[in-house]
Amino acid sequence: MRVHVTLRGTLVDRLPDGRGEVEVPDGSTVGHLSDELGLPGRHCVFVVNGQAVKADAVLRDGDRLQAFPPMAGG
């Protein structure tokens, strides 16, 4: 299945132009895709189709995933 991925901030270098379609097996989770892309998954914020999700969320064909890097303030 195909998932549309957009990476934000310091993650953009993991895909050309920080975005693209990624092919993953049926039943894949956000965490699986994060691992495939080499993202620091435990520390990222993930949004699928406009909803914040955790790494164990199961992806569906055509989903739109955004990944945001960890942020700190001070």
Q: Is residue 52 part of a domain?
A: yes
- How far apart (Å, rounded) are the C-alpha atoms in residues 43 and 64? 19
Residue 73 lies in a domain: no
The CATH number assigned to the domain holding 43 equals: 3.10.20.30
Determine the structural domain holding residue 6 and report its residue range: 2-68
57 falls within a domain? yes
Residue 22 located in a structural domain: yes
Asked if the structure places residue 74 within a domain, the reply is: no
> Which amino acid is it at 23?
E
- Tell me the Ramachandran region of residue 24: left when phi exceeds 0, alpha when psi lies from -120 to 50, beta otherwise: beta
Q: What count of Cα atoms within 13 Å lies in the side-chain half-sphere of residue 15?
A: 20
Residue 47 maps to a domain: yes
pLDDT at 40: 87
Please provide the distance, in angstroms rounded to a whole number, between the alpha carbons at the two ends of the chain.
Answer: 41
Q: How many domains does the chain have?
A: 1
Could you report the per-residue pLDDT of 4-47, keeping only the tens digit for each?
999 999 999 999 999 999 999 999 999 999 999 999 877 899 99
- Mean pLDDT of the 42-65 span: 96
pLDDT at 10: 92
State pTM to two decimals.
0.90
